[in-house]
Structure 1
Amino acid sequence: MPDTLHDGDALNLDVAASHMVTRIPRVRAEATVDSVLELLRGQVFQCADTIFVVDPQDRLLGIVRINDLFSDGTRLIQDIMVPEHEAVALGDDQEEIASLAIRLNMIAVPVVDWDQKLVGAVPPEALFRILRDEHMEDLQRFAGIAAHDDGPDAALDAPLFNRFSRRLPWLVFGLLASSLITVVMVGFEHTLSSNVSVAFFVPALVYIAGAIGTQAVSVSVRGLSVGEVDIGALLRDELIIGSAIGTALGSLAGLAVMIFFGDVILAVAVGLAVLAGGTVSAVVGFGLPWVFKRFGSDPALGSGPICTIIQDVTSLFIYFALVSLLVL
C-alpha cells in the first residue's frame, strides 16, 4: 500500500482516503510501555503524534497519546490506552473527519477499511487543512458562490470566467426568486395605494428579517459542526430568542412610528410585523441548514439566497396582511 493516497488513488479528494498517511505506529495492547518505546526508537513515521493499538487482525482497539508513554515503563499499553476509539472509514467525507477530531480533541484521526482494520491516519497538518478548507467553502456558500472542484485555494486564482460562472447561478436564482416579493406587493397593491406611508417600513422589515435570520444561521451551522446535538432543544431556544428579539425590536419600531407618524394603528401593525417576522426568520434561519443536512446537502446551501428569499417574502406578507387588517 502506498504511504498516501493521492489524486489517482481516490476519485473524491474530499474523503479520508485522500488525506491519510499509512506509516503510523501500531502496537499491541499487551505490550509494556518500555517495549513500545524500544520498538519505536529508530523508526521514521509520517504521523507519530498518536500510538494506535491494534489486535492480531490489525483491528483498531484504541489509541495512546504520545505524552502517556512517559508513564511507568512497566505498565501495559492496555492500561493507558483510550479504548474503543472512534475512527473514520476510507470513504467518509472530510467534514466528518473534522467533526470527529473536534468532538474528541484528537491530534490524528484513525482510518479503517470495510473490515474495521486500521489502514492509516489523518495527520495534524491534514486536519488543519481540512478545517480551513471547510471554513472557506462555507463562507463561499453563505455568499452564494459555488465551490471550486479543486478547493477554495484554487478558487482565488481561478480564471475570470470560472469565477464569474461560479457566482452567477445563485444570483440568477435570487433575481428570479425575488419576483415572489413583487407578487406579494402586487397582491397588496390596494393597501399601498390607500396609505403610501405603509411602504416606508418595507426596507426596515427586510433588514430585520435578514439580520435575525443570519444570526440564527450562524447558531445552526455551529451546531451542525460539533456533531450530534439536540435539534429540538436548540430550535426551542431559537424560537424563544427570536420571539424575544422580535418583541424588543417591534416595541422600538412601533414606538418610533407612533412618535413620528402619530398613527397608533400603523405603529401596532409595524410592531407586530417585526415581532412575527423576527420569529419566523429565526426559525427559518435555524431550521433550513438542518433540512439541507438531513437530505444529504451542504447545510451552507440553505444559508444564503434561499434563506434570504424565504425570510423576506414571509416577513413582507405578514406585514401587508397585518396592515390590511388593522390599518385599512
Structure 2
Amino acid sequence: MATIETFWPGLRRQPHESARAHMASRVPRAETGDSAAVVLDDLRGRHFDCAEAVFVTDRDGRLEGIVHISDLLAARPDQAMAELMEPEHTAVHPDQDQEAVALAALRLGLVAVPVVDHAGLLLGAVPPQALALILRREHDEDLQRLAGISRDGDDIARGALEAPLGDRLKRRLPWLVIGLLASSLATLVVARFEHTLNANVAVAFFVPALVYIAGAIGTQAVSVAVRGLGARRMAMGPLLLRELATGSLIGLALGSIVVLPVWWIFDDGLLALAVALAVLGAGTVSAVIGLALPWGFQRLGFDPALGSGPICTILQDVLSLLIYFTVVTLLLL
C-alpha cells in the first residue's frame, strides 16, 4: 500500500499539526469478505465520528480499500466488500504533517483520509470537516508567507492578527524597508531614460500598466513555486524551462492584445510595437524570477516563501522598466 510519502517524500513533519490531531477513531470498518447487507446491518444504530466511507481491512486490521457510503447503498445485498472497495488508495501516518493529509485528499478526491500505523493497521480517518479546516489554515499560511510574514507560533492566523504591535512590526517591517530602499532603483531607471520621456511623453502612459502586468505574472509564479516546492522536490532546470515557456506565452498573448489598441489610439506603430515587446519581455522575466526566487531561498536554507513577494516585486518593477525603456529607446530614438 502506498502512503503519501511515496508521492511527496519531502513533506515537512510538525507533530503539533499532525494527522493524529485531526483523526477520528470511530469510523465504519468492515472486512473484505463481508457482504453489503451484513455491513449495512452492522452500521445501523451506531454513531461514528466520520461516516462518509467504510474502511475495508483484512482480518488483522490492515487497510485494504475504501467503500463510499453511496456505493454501499447501491450494492447488491450479497456483494462482497472486496468487490466494492477501491483498492488503489493512499493513507497517512499519525505523525505526518497536516499538509500531507490535505494533499492526499486533493490528489485522489478523498472525502476522508485514512490514518494507519507503520504496519498498515487502520487507526482512524481524518473527516471532511477537518480537511476543510486544514485547507483553510494552509491557505492562510501561504498567503502570509508570500507577504513576508514569517511563522510565529502554532496558529498562523492568530499570530498575524492578535500579535502585539512590536511583534507585528518585527515580522513585517524588515522586508518592507528593503522594498522601500530598493524601490529607489526603479526611480533611477526612470531618471536614466529621462531623454526618452522628453522625446515622447506618451511613453510614460504605459509605465503603470507594464509594472502591474509584470507584478501579476510574477505573483502567480511565486504562488505556484511556494506550493510546488513545499509539496515535492524536482530538478530546477526543467522547472525553469517550463516557467520560461509559460511566461513567454503569457507575455506574447498580452502583447498581441495591446498592440492594435495602442497603435489605433496613439497612431504610432513603433510605440505599439515597443509596448508589446516590453510586455513580452517583462512577462518572461517576471515568471522566471517568481519561480527562481523561492528556490533560491530554499537553497540558502531559508523558508522558500519568506519575503518572496516583496523581493520579487522589487526585481520585477526594476527589470520591467529597464526592458521597456530600453526597447522604446531603440525603436523610437
Q: TM-score, normalised by structure 1?
A: 0.75
Cα distance change of structure 1 residues 238 and 227 upon mapping to structure 2, 3 Å threshold: farther
2:276, 2:72 → 1: CA distance?
64
From the superposition, tell whether residues 269 and 216 of structure 1 become closer, same or farther in structure 2 (CA, over 3 Å). Answer: same
1:88 to 86, 92, 96: 92
What is the identity, as a one-letter code, of the residue corresponding to 2:316?
Q
The answer to whether the 8 A contact 2:105-2:111 is kept is yes
Cα distance change, pair 171–250 in 1 and its aligned pair in 2 (3 A): farther
> Structure 1 regions of 5+ residues with no counterpart?
1-9
Asked if the contact 2:35/2:78 (under 8 Å) is kept, the reply is yes
1:127 to 122, 131, 145: 131
Preserved CA contact (<8 Å) 1:288 1:302? no
Q: What residue is the counterpart of 1:6 in the other structure? A: none
Give 2:194's match in structure 1, choosing from 171, 186, 192: 192
Q: Deviations over 1:178-231 (max 9, x none)?
A: 354356557xx3x42465357725434322322343456667789899999x97
Q: Which moved more, 1:72-81 or 1:13-22?
A: 13-22
Distance 1:168 1:73 in 2: 65
Q: Is the 8 A contact 2:148 2:305 kept in 1?
A: no
- Report the counterpart of residue 72 of structure 1 in structure 2: 76
Distance in 1 of aligned mates of 2:295 and 2:78: 52
Residue 140 of structure 1 aligns with an amino acid whose one-letter code is Q
What CA distance in whole angstroms lies between the structure 2 residues aligned with 1:253 and 1:225? 41
Contact 1:269 1:322 in 2 (8 A): yes
SS of corresponding position for 1:51:
strand
* Partner of residue 145, structure 2: 141
Matched position secondary structure for 1:89? coil
Aligned pair 1:118/2:113, yes or no? no
Distance 1:292 1:30 in 2: 53
Structure 1, residues 145-182: CA drift from partner, whole Å, max 9, x if none? 33452324423333333333332233233234435435
In the alignment, what sits opposite 2:4? none
Counterpart of 1:244, as a letter, is A
Q: 1:54 aligns with which of 54, 57, 60?
A: 57
> Which residue in the other structure is 1:3 paired with?
none
Q: Tell me how far 1:315 sits from its aligned partner.
A: 0.9
Query: Which whole-Å deviations, capped at 9, do the CAs of 1:38-85 have from their partners, x for residues lacking one?
Result: 433444432222211122343221011122332322221101111131
- How has the CA–CA distance of structure 1 residues 41 and 216 changed in structure 2, closer, same or farther, with 3 Å as cutoff? same
1-structure distance, mates of 2:242, 2:24: 39
Q: 1:246 to 1:221 in 2, by over 3 A?
A: farther
Q: Please name the residue that 1:163 is paired with.
A: 168
**AA matched with 1:242:** G
Return 5+ residue gaps in structure 2 as ranges. 1-12
Which of 16, 35, 40 is the aligned partner of 2:38?
Answer: 35
Counterpart Cα distance in 1 of 2:102 and 2:53: 17
Residue 37 to residue 203, structure 1, CA distance change in 2 (3 Å): closer
What displacement does 1:302 show? Answer: 7.6
1:25 is aligned to 2:28? yes
CA offsets, 1:89-125, max 9 Å, x none? Answer: 3343323322321332222111223333322211111
Counterpart residue identity of residue 144, structure 1: G
Q: 1:11 to 1:236 in 2, by over 3 A?
A: closer
3-state SS of paired residue (2:17) = coil
C-alpha separation in 1, matches of 2:253 and 2:295: 24
1:239-254 to structure 2, matched below 5 A, reads: 239-253=248-262
Name the CA shift for 1:276/1:61 in 2 (closer, same or farther; >3 Å).
same
Match of 2:216 among 207, 211, 215: 211
Structure 1 pair 169–14 and aligned structure 2 pair: CA distance change class (3 A): farther
| Residue matched to 1:318 | 323
Give secondary structure in 2 for the equivalent of 1:84: coil
Q: Is the 8 A contact 2:243 2:287 kept in 1?
A: no
| CA RMSD across the alignment | 3.9
Q: Which has the higher contact order (CA 8 A, sep 6+)?
A: 2
Counterpart for residue 5 of structure 1: none
CA deviations 1:230-269 (Å, max 9, x no partner) are 977787455323311123224544655x44xx7x655544
Deviates more, 1:147-156 or 1:214-223: 214-223
Q: 1:108 to 1:60 in 2, by over 3 A?
A: same
